[in-house]
Structure 1
């Protein structure tokens, strides 16, 4: 279960070609879109520019709503690597048509090309998300998603910068269109060549019958996703992120020109701050979550987005509007650095927020429906952002609020949405509490966790009677853990709430009824057969009668349990019952059959603790 650095994935053929195709797609789409938006913002009247910018953003999202569910079915039905090759090949004629549309200054044709690029991305997105669990190990998913999210925004940033710069060379007699054509064509060809190196990804449901009625199929997949609240609310939360992201990014050209009074180069600077922030936030997710697939860091990202958005809005309201200022003049003006820092904060926290959500959807979706569930996520994202584009047009052009006021309104709405999702999905709140305790209130040092199998069933044995021990184990081990607890330990309200609402309900033993203990033994065996990772918390202070009654059946049961039984040592610097400050967690070698009794387990754990107590904290 040893973790590897997420950047090591860039040396693997099962990841690098996919990463390069992703960068190429987002580079080209953002190159064309930002060139178009900057032309609108700086060459048209303010009212007309705001309407066209929001219309272009809404039009860009329409294909995600129309074609995503079909793309998801194709991802489940056919080899995903072959689909990616075809999708990348079609990008080449699209970018040539886009260059021609800008050359003849035809706005309707430019909007049509924007629609085609969005359609191209709508077909690509479910396939690339669905292929990752096939090519990456489970413990690589969080880091892999962080790197791909970074790559996506790096491509978007590169495209946005190039589009903004090229738009400044679109005047008569200049060569902006030629630069646009050459860059988009070379990137499209590079992306296609990269896609040819993606390893095969055989379909999970090769006999799936494609339903070409998107409305009917969408309702079916929606019904399936709602059966699993973690998946459904992850879809809602991830779609909400794109609503927030689009609100901020789409307004940056007009915000820079009309609120800050700055030039096209400052637009590039603002886009760079937002995008670099998202990329850095995405990369830090693997370290914050320790490679685990958890909701724990999602609320941190959500709250950070709200604080950053509020700071940006209020700072901009106090900013003295300049007049066509370049980067140097803008940076010298009072209030410029807070605006840039708050923009970075919005992006940084957005990266922390979005990566775990996509990882959870990938990990928990049924293999047979993974592509379609990820496509459903795209549809929700498109629906949310289309609605917010219409709302933004109404607020900016009819109600006449300012863009800083729009940022403040969106940030407050973000906090309310986050609170709603936490209430509807208690697992998210539990993961957050567990993460805070494990990472902020304590500092866990782990050792030899590679003894714990990464996939197969195993039974961990731990003798800590502190109710906080399962929380630390839960947040430290990369795999989900199902705990086996005595009735006396389970009485703790915090522990009971955390485990029941955290995704995997515990198995309770040493109860007052013999029938309930027998059911516990049967549940342990069933979980072992299904490949789960179990952890038995031995409790020396359980009442003597039920404990003694269960010891003999449990000893016999454990000896015949055909899975590895691994001692797990957990202790703090001061005492094992005071799990705060620095905590040591270590897995020992699997036990032999002779040691698998209560007396043998306690003796083994005692000897292991006597050895590990010398470890420096």
Structure 2
């Protein structure tokens, strides 16, 4: 639980009452709904109602999907530049005006039942979404603070999937209206476009982040430049790859729902729609849960939890589908739901989607938080390019597997197992995800952590976090409370502890030995600590020099003064409360880690962060007094 000031902050739903978020949310919602209403209605039209010699019904969905994705590959790089160069509210209004023009052309195409014109409109709506994508994700960090970013992203993600769901349902219902289906779709699409333009008009000013930028209109060279730009921050770039993998994973399921419903579940076309509903609701719930579980921070510890859940339920879906009895006739939705054997299938799909929401929302928030504001939109453009490439690859791979004789459940199983390998690879490449996951689990199972004053830990810029040393997991508890990574200066002996030593090496903790014992290691530790601060990162230190053996605060050593003499940065005093006597502290004959649950599960511990101290005011005695005062608070 966080401190009382932050506990009183309104939930993410309160953003819907605020001008900085609500008009943007509804603009995005209406655009996503319109895209899917139009695409699904057109797919039904050319599959069931029109006979087009040059577009066989079996190819209609593939052609429409490919035309919609193509602009993401061609124009994402350009759209990222436009969103960085110009005020974002102006870019959004231009895009929504373009949507009205495209939908007016589509209405004419529906009236003439001209499939070529309608396919051109699919491409133009893809262009509309390509232009909107970078500005969408670059807008949020301009108007939401770090504590609101996860909730805001969760709301947008939830809204997008609800809009996709409603758009597909409305498209299917309207196009099926006898005699007037095409006209009804045309009017609905045009109406949604006009509504979206009206909401865009109320979006508040969002100044350009790089107005001096010179636009490079060459999509090939600019795409390559955007990918290099994203690669400049490895955590961000690997997070882009992680999100693109999620789209690869999700696209396999979404694309195969119709054939899965028909050939495996033996349901009618409405059962395929039911699967889409379950999947969309799961994504929505997972996206909204992110803020609750993350306690208002960008909690990337949820990402490995999401990846684990995606694999577990994808694999179980394979076994659930294998256990279904054969049937003679196609189930209706009511008949399908009435069979308990189908409940497991729906639960697997819903939970798989829920964990995909937990996986994706913190990754989006991390990218927004860690990208440089001046080229944030171009980073998001790089993300959209990678997403499109991964989705195309997923279609080709899934198609090749099905063509080679694999069943749909076997394709789902293969993707689920691949997800485990990809997840492990990403989390070892970017250990921050894994470390935050360990901290997330530890502070929600063995400990129940109450955090006070965490807003004193800076979201950006160099600083030293100085804390009392009570247990072997102090660094992990601090990680759980910090909004960003902390590089720790730690006693070299702790690296010999099984598992924990491996974790701290993974976290790039800096080992320090006493000067008398190892002068070279001592000097190297201070050099490494200075590099951390020079790079604008957080440095964590335990000034007592070792874990307390009696639970009392020990004298502070002068090492922190030596660090500050080289580089004057703020020092944030932090006190860990009630960790003494827990499993990871020394209590019985000076030993630790005996009788794991001697204080039971959810042992209450606290972390209190105080106001930053300026470097000039820091001495070992003054810092110890501040930490002692926080311990008593």
Tell me which interval the TM-score lies in, with the shorter structure as reference length: 0.7 to 0.9
Q: SS in structure 1 opposite 2:578? A: strand
Which range moves more in the overlay, 278-287 or 133-142?
A: 133-142
Deviation per residue, 1:493-552 (Å, 9 max, x gap): 7556545544x7558585447787678678777867886554431225499xxx999638
User: Is residue 22 from structure 1 mapped to residue 28 from structure 2 by the alignment?
Assistant: yes
For 2:62 and 2:327, locate their aligned partners in 1 and report how far apart those are by CA, in whole Å: 23
Q: Which runs of 5+ in 2 are unaligned?
A: 549-553, 587-591, 597-602
Against the structure 1 CA distance between its residues 324 and 467, is the aligned structure 2 distance closer, same or farther, given a 3 Å change threshold?
same
Please tell me whether the aligned partners of residues 455 and 531 of structure 1 are also in contact (alpha carbons under 8 angstroms): yes
TM-score by length of 1: 0.86
2:467 corresponds, among 462, 466, 470, to: 462
For 1:557 and 1:288, locate their aligned partners in 2 and report how far apart those are by CA, in whole Å: 36
Deviation per residue, 1:250-290 (Å, 9 max, x gap): 22233334443433433332211100100111111122233
For 1:310 and 1:50, locate their aligned partners in 2 and report how far apart those are by CA, in whole Å: 28
For 2:559 and 2:505, locate their aligned partners in 1 and report how far apart those are by CA, in whole Å: 28
Against the structure 1 CA distance between its residues 209 and 509, is the aligned structure 2 distance closer, same or farther, given a 3 Å change threshold?
farther
Q: SS in structure 2 opposite 1:277? A: helix
Q: SS in structure 1 opposite 2:20? A: coil
1:569 Cα deviation (Å)?
2.9
Please tell me whether the aligned partners of residues 529 and 563 of structure 2 are also in contact (alpha carbons under 8 angstroms): no
Q: Which runs of 5+ in 1 are unaligned?
A: 613-617
Corresponding residue of 2:412: 407
Corresponding residue of 1:363: 369
Matches within 5 A, 1:3-402: 3=6, 4=9, 5-39=11-45, 49-169=57-177, 171=178, 173=179, 175-319=180-324, 320-321=326-327, 323-396=329-402, 398-402=403-407
Against the structure 1 CA distance between its residues 352 and 571, is the aligned structure 2 distance closer, same or farther, given a 3 Å change threshold?
same
Matches within 5 A, 1:398-437: 398-437=403-442
RMSD: 3.6
Q: SS in structure 1 opposite 2:573? A: strand
2:577 corresponds, among 570, 575, 584, to: 570
1:583 corresponds, among 605, 613, 627, to: 605
Against the structure 1 CA distance between its residues 202 and 311, is the aligned structure 2 distance closer, same or farther, given a 3 Å change threshold?
same
Please tell me whether the aligned partners of residues 491 and 546 of structure 2 are also in contact (alpha carbons under 8 angstroms): no
Against the structure 1 CA distance between its residues 250 and 102, is the aligned structure 2 distance closer, same or farther, given a 3 Å change threshold?
farther
TM-score by length of 2: 0.84
Q: SS in structure 2 opposite 1:572? A: coil
For 1:427 and 1:448, locate their aligned partners in 2 and report how far apart those are by CA, in whole Å: 23
Which range moves more in the overlay, 562-571 or 36-45?
A: 36-45
Which range moves more in the overlay, 89-98 or 455-464?
A: 455-464
For 2:436 and 2:615, locate their aligned partners in 1 and report how far apart those are by CA, in whole Å: 36
Please tell me whether the aligned partners of residues 568 and 615 of structure 2 are also in contact (alpha carbons under 8 angstroms): no
Please tell me whether the aligned partners of residues 76 and 131 of structure 2 are also in contact (alpha carbons under 8 angstroms): yes
Against the structure 1 CA distance between its residues 490 and 605, is the aligned structure 2 distance closer, same or farther, given a 3 Å change threshold?
farther
Q: SS in structure 2 opposite 1:439? A: coil
Q: SS in structure 2 opposite 1:204? A: coil
